[in-house]
Structure 1
Amino acid sequence: METNIQSSNYAHANKVIQLTIKVMVVTIFFGYIMIWVMMPTNTFWLHWLPRIHSATDSSYFGPQQGGNILIYTSPILLIAIMSCIYLHLENKHPQHQNKPKNTWEQVQEQPAIIRGPLGIINWTEFMFLCMFVTLLIWSFSAYIHAMFATITTQSASRMREKLWEVKLDSIALMLGLIGNICLSLLFFPVTRGSPVLRLLGLTSESTIKYHIWIGNLTMVFFTAHGLCYTIFWGKTRQITQMMKWEKIGISNVAGEVGLITGIAIWLTSISRIRRNIFELFFYTHHLYILFVVFFILHVGFSYIWITLPGFYLFLIDRVVRFLQSQQKVRLVSARVLPCQVVELNFSKTRGLEYNPTSLIFVNVPSISKHQWHPFSVTSSSNLDDEKISVVIKSEGSWSRKLYEELSLPSPVDHLQVSVEGPYGPSSINFHQYDKLVMFSGGSGITPFISIIRELLHMANNPNNNNNTPEILLIPSFKKSSHLAMLDLILPISGTTLDISRLKLQIRPYITQEIGHTTEEQHLYKTIWFKPNSLDAPISPILGRNNWIFLGIIIVFSFVISLVFIAVFTRFYIYPIDRGTNMIYSYSLRSVFSMVFVCTAIGVTVSIAFLWNKKRNLKEMGQVQMTDLPTPLASPGLSSWYYNADREMRSLPYESFVGSTDVKYGERPDFKKILKESEGSNIGVLVSGPKKMRQNVAAICSSGLSKNLHFQSISFNW
């Protein structure tokens, strides 16, 4: 009884702390937004900014740098730190994280826009999108009004320039300032382990579309910024300005190099190039490093603090990912299906936990040393605590080479692989529904496999009280041979759980065949790989308490960066600026500042990584290197490699497909299926082509039934 009371008190205190953190985050966020709203006004420049500069003026940072750190960088990093604390508490109190969503939370996840350039947008995303667009429009109009108010014919004649030339100069500056707003948000969506996104219930794979569109806007404004200045210099006979690299102030050459680099990234990111010439897109995209470096050299490091927070968090995440990617992981087995699909099964430590619909990025050096590709996790960390699985369909040159390598009559007995992740939602709420209706197209079924496995574990949990929702899976395949993907619903090693407790119905559709074919009788291979002493199970890169460690990294790396910059400024730059008539070069100051920030992040992340690596070694030792299942072992084989051909009508296939009615030559009638679904609270999940997701979203938003709650699962890479 006393233990239950303590647990209840802990849960209550935990809830109060999380609510307090949310209130603080919202307060800081709106204060931060207010700075951006006021930034284009005379009130900000003539009244607020001078007071901020006078309050932060010191020989350690200077007035401009200190003020920018205080009002632009610190708020976002503080939000990220508090998000880490919130997520840590959420992980430590799972019964709170899995609580049913209230009506307001359900409304926030409903589609607000179904068809448009950004795809399906829910109300939460719509709210932030409106705020962003409003900020851009307001900033544009406010800058134009403030700048043009001081431009007259007399003022232009005093500068020996025409009126339109002076206005063009102001427009060019304004375009650069608007581009900075976009740049400040550019890196948030691609920070895979971002605590800020997790706090909002978002993931990098769901927000990658915003990175694409913010990137487009950034380059539109910066390109227009550069063109306007080029025209202005040409018309006013100042074309030599293009060749100047000023020691103090703006460096034009650095800006031009950065712009050219950005345009190269922009052009190779066009959808057709990205999908058809992926290697060109992939390698060119790494030029973002040069783009950021030359942008900093262009405006100076004192100014870059305005747009730095997003890139700062991205840089921490990138170093963490780099350290994880250097480890070779243990690939245990592979299932090779005749429909050109491969399931890879990796070994993992028990300490690595993840939620359904998570992703991992996979690199196979024998195919490409530098390419990383994202794939949905099909396993459940609760159902199989020593394995993690992904399914890969041959839809591109990289995946096709992998399939060909594993489908050879005598495939390799060891495959070197590295991974990054897994990355996924911070919580799951599938159990809150009475029924789950899941529509998938092709390989879109893979995230649903992880959900089904998780619900299978829940259905067999004695503490669950039989609250597992009914599941209706509607997969659509082009050919009947693709039905073999349903064989992946259960793990390769099988399960001892009672499958009958899972209330699962499967209604497959074959869209490009009008009847049963013999293709589905083809054989598939199960390959067990020989272990390597250099390979290790996948483990949590920052340990079980990864969010706390991430918060510590943010705090210490930022503090160390400030200490380095402050000491360098006070004892080296400040004496030079004060003791002579010369001012220390802005470019050199920026270079040293970049080195200090990168060094602080690299050292801090490395220490955290090494600390947790030692702790993970104990768990790695618990994973048996000899985990080849004995039922499949052949006494005639002395090596660890085993290649077992099995007919596709295995236990899972017979259980889940043999008793179902496969529909040939037709597509599912989404409206009819949803209308006939019974339940007061139905979750509708869609993973597949864009048109499928849009059609189902339109039905759920049409008012057909108030009990339908839509959720789209997609990744636009």
Structure 2
Amino acid sequence: MGELSSQEPLLLKKENEFNYLKKIPLLVSSTIKGIMWAIFIAWAAFFFVLPTEFGRELQHKTIRATNGTLFGTTGSTFLLFSFPVFMIAFLGIIRLVLSGEDEPQVKKTAKGPKFRLWTFPVLVDGPFGVVTATEMIGVILFSVYIVWAVIMYTIQNVDLLSLFDAHGMKEKSALLLELTGLRFGFIGLICLAFLFLPVARGSVLLRAIDIPFEHATRYHVWLGHLTMALFTLHGLFYVIGWAMRGRLVEELVDWKNVGVANLPGVISLAAGLLMWVTSLPGLRRKNFELFFYTHQLYVVFVVFLALHVGDFIFMMAGAGIFLFMLDRFLRFFQSRKTVDILSATCFPCGTVELVISKPANLDYNALGWIFLQIRELSWLQWHPFSVSSSPLDGKQHLAILIKVLGDWTEKLKGNILNLSVEQSETEPLLQHNRKITASVEGPYGHESPYHLTYENLILVAGGIGISPFLAILSDILHHINDGKPCLSRNILIVWAIKNSDELPLLDTVDMEAICPLFSDKLNLELQTFVTRESQPPLEEGKTPKAMQPSISPGFKGCRMSGLVGTGNIVWSGLYVVVSTIGLVITTASLNIFYVNPFNVYYWWYKGLLLIGCMAASILIFGGLVIALWHLWERKTSSKEEPEDDTKKVDILQHQNEASLPKSFGEARFVNNIRYGQRPDFQGIFGTRFELYKVDILLFCFLEDMFNFFFCRDIWIACKELGKCRYWCDCVWSSYSSD
């Protein structure tokens, strides 16, 4: 007995040591996160002090320190403006690697509600859409910086007039306009340094701070409007000044070898204006294809900007542009691969379900989404769709729901119906004339499964916005059934639809099959609001079935590619690091063997060479990593690939399950369907906040038609209930099928 008792402290000591070792990566990760924030704050603070005398002196000292070195002025600009971004990216990679790819550690919610700046919305009815407290702080800081920089540079411009030999009010006014235009161009370059960071879909920066691309896109939109407004003022002030001097045409076509070349700037600004005009909300909604095609002019915009300002000025925004180029090159590789569509089913409400083949080693979050291209419909159009299946539903496939809302989706539905007729008249295996060929980018989405870390969930969906919630519900049921970490126990789904024929979308989740007796472990309630029907249809109680027959092209061995920025963090991180090192090596080699020996000093030419170095480093160094990554993916996926007979059984089983009629309404949970009503969010939220009395995760996925009244009503409810001290985390999104 004494021996046993003497051993207990040793066991406890070992257990404590083991727990301590497990905490080390978390501590290191937190430390790295703190360093990342410190670098970012210092980088942003540098922009604020740059218009001051101290900032200018700091910039001049850095330039003088690098004069005569291998990289020259371009190196100093890189250190001041681009190097911090690369440092944050590298630290983010290390942090993600330390986080690992194991099952997420679920933390218990706090005993009382908390207010979180990162997620709590403070503005809904406004030009920015749904804006959280943190986003509002960012908007205010950007606005303050613009006003501050304009005021400081205006004062400096007035002082500089005395240094120029300008006579007469007209000449001084023209000179002041040109100096003001120069300052607006400089401020625009500062905004351009941020512009491309949010639009890189698989960016390690976004992954490190867990902001998915679909949320970060709004920042790109805001920055795009601001950047183009500044560049437009930059060009406009110069044009007015040149016109006052009587040198407008000469200046517009001028292409200086030393100094800023005007004609490339005119071309770059024209491309930017065309992108800007076609991206305005009204024109974009009416003609999305025009917006999409003209937005490809970003290549012209960037290249001619480099020709306009030269290499060292262009490097002010070089980091963001280079990271975007890395992401674009990787997405190009992934999207070239054709993917099997295992099955396609049409619902009476005009919604299509596609089941797509994927490799077993490709992981994604239940809140994931993909970009889809159907080459039989268009070689250029890519459309985003939320994944409607849980990653635990099957290792070899994922499903998406597509609502027919526009021309592209209407053509897709027509092709599926035509194929189903042909397939019913002949043997499917002998059908080769008609097919659907898909290409996929992604999956993208949240890095963390937030839906598993909250005990109480309120899921608000409008129309096809129910799609990601089907994946969430399936994922929670799988975790509960398999005994995996999952806190979710109380779930309320609020779903608003136009017509009752959308109700069969719920049948894509067979809850009893996933988790038998789930109602003993999960409190699930569904409140459905049918807004355009005042009473139930005559066939109430009979769930409409999916249109039959659906098509089942079968499995040909073509799965989604795992070469995605949101995939394996080691390979995606290695891709970024090696390509960046390659950029330094390529630029240094060019300076050693060409620029310095041949005394190349043309600004526009050196800007073009810098763009060439970026592209070459991605092609050579990044391409090598992608090739190795591809070989590794093939090797690992072949190990996890089931036998051919097993494949066929799994595919047939999934197709049979998809065709079997199910009744979501017969499941053992509360399902209230209300006709001719809109959700009373204040009453719904108030009841839940009082009932749970702890933090609630509120997800909102809204179809375009629901955005206005949903956001308005939800915001009013949250604003009123905020007086009760019951706050919630909110994840907002807008869903558009076409």
> TM over 0.5, yes or no?
yes
Asked if structure 1 preserves the Cα contact closer than 8 Å seen for 2:157 and 2:179, the reply is yes
Structure 1 counterpart of 2:233, one-letter code = A
Distance (Å, rounded) in 2 between the aligned partners of 1:590 and 1:522: 61
Match 1:169 to one of 154, 178, 199: 178
Partner of 1:683: 697
1:435 equivalenced with 2:445 (yes/no): no
Distance (Å, rounded) in 1 between the aligned partners of 2:241 and 2:614: 36
Equivalent runs, 1:133-212 vs 2, <5 Å:
133-152=143-162, 155=164, 157=166, 162-212=171-221
Alpha-carbon shift at residue 432 of structure 1 (Å): 3.6
Offset from partner CA, 1:670-714 (integer Å, 9 cap, x none): 111112222122222222132213321332233154334142331
Match 2:711 to one of 679, 683, 693: 693
More divergent stretch after superposition (509-518 vs 697-706) = 697-706
Equivalent runs, 1:400-411 vs 2, <5 Å:
400-408=410-418, 409-410=420-421
Alpha-carbon shift at residue 620 of structure 1 (Å): 3.7
Partner of 1:460: 481
Shift of the 526–710 alpha-carbon distance from structure 1 to 2, 3 Å rule, reads farther
More divergent stretch after superposition (392-401 vs 521-530) = 521-530
Distance (Å, rounded) in 2 between the aligned partners of 1:391 and 1:110: 29
Shift of the 157–165 alpha-carbon distance from structure 1 to 2, 3 Å rule, reads same
SS at match of 2:535: coil
Partner of 1:636: none
Asked if structure 2 preserves the Cα contact closer than 8 Å seen for 1:506 and 1:656, the reply is no
More divergent stretch after superposition (13-22 vs 683-692) = 683-692
1:448 equivalenced with 2:469 (yes/no): yes
Partner of 1:571: 593
Q: 5+ residue gaps in structure 1?
A: 578-582, 634-639
Asked if structure 1 preserves the Cα contact closer than 8 Å seen for 2:366 and 2:468, the reply is yes
Partner of 2:7: none
Asked if structure 2 preserves the Cα contact closer than 8 Å seen for 1:679 and 1:707, the reply is no
Partner of 1:580: none
Structure 2 counterpart of 1:357, one-letter code = L
Alpha-carbon shift at residue 340 of structure 1 (Å): 0.7
More divergent stretch after superposition (302-311 vs 494-503) = 494-503
Distance (Å, rounded) in 2 between the aligned partners of 1:105 and 1:317: 35
SS at match of 1:521: coil
Structure 1 counterpart of 2:128, one-letter code = L
Equivalent runs, 1:84-163 vs 2, <5 Å:
84-92=93-101, 94-96=103-105, 100=109, 106-152=116-162, 155=164, 157=166, 162-163=171-172
1:213 equivalenced with 2:222 (yes/no): yes
Shift of the 494–276 alpha-carbon distance from structure 1 to 2, 3 Å rule, reads farther
SS at match of 2:28: helix
SS at match of 1:342: strand
Partner of 1:541: 563
1:292 equivalenced with 2:302 (yes/no): yes
TM-score where L is the length of structure 1: 0.91
Shift of the 80–715 alpha-carbon distance from structure 1 to 2, 3 Å rule, reads farther
Asked if structure 1 preserves the Cα contact closer than 8 Å seen for 2:204 and 2:565, the reply is no
SS at match of 1:150: helix
Match 2:45 to one of 13, 25, 34: 34
Partner of 2:497: 477
Shift of the 604–382 alpha-carbon distance from structure 1 to 2, 3 Å rule, reads farther
Distance (Å, rounded) in 1 between the aligned partners of 2:109 and 2:620: 41
Match 1:351 to one of 345, 361, 382: 361
1:242 equivalenced with 2:252 (yes/no): yes
Shift of the 160–567 alpha-carbon distance from structure 1 to 2, 3 Å rule, reads farther
Offset from partner CA, 1:513-551 (integer Å, 9 cap, x none): 111225763543363533464x52224316997223232
SS at match of 1:308: helix
Match 2:580 to one of 535, 550, 558: 558
Distance (Å, rounded) in 2 between the aligned partners of 1:3 and 1:538: 45
Partner of 2:23: 12
SS at match of 1:87: helix
Match 1:602 to one of 614, 619, 624: 619
Shift of the 33–463 alpha-carbon distance from structure 1 to 2, 3 Å rule, reads closer
SS at match of 2:560: coil
SS at match of 1:475: strand
Asked if structure 1 preserves the Cα contact closer than 8 Å seen for 2:701 and 2:734, the reply is no
Distance (Å, rounded) in 2 between the aligned partners of 1:542 and 1:190: 15
Aligned residues: 697
SS at match of 1:324: helix
Distance (Å, rounded) in 2 between the aligned partners of 1:630 and 1:575: 64
Distance (Å, rounded) in 1 between the aligned partners of 2:108 and 2:626: 33
1:712 equivalenced with 2:731 (yes/no): yes
More divergent stretch after superposition (422-431 vs 411-420) = 411-420
Offset from partner CA, 1:35-93 (integer Å, 9 cap, x none): 21122223332x2123212222234211x211011111111011011112212222335
Cα RMSD (Å) of the superposition? Answer: 2.9
Structure 1 counterpart of 2:313, one-letter code = Y
Offset from partner CA, 1:452-509 (integer Å, 9 cap, x none): 1111112213354x84321111111110101111112349x95365543443211211
Asked if structure 2 preserves the Cα contact closer than 8 Å seen for 1:348 and 1:538, the reply is yes
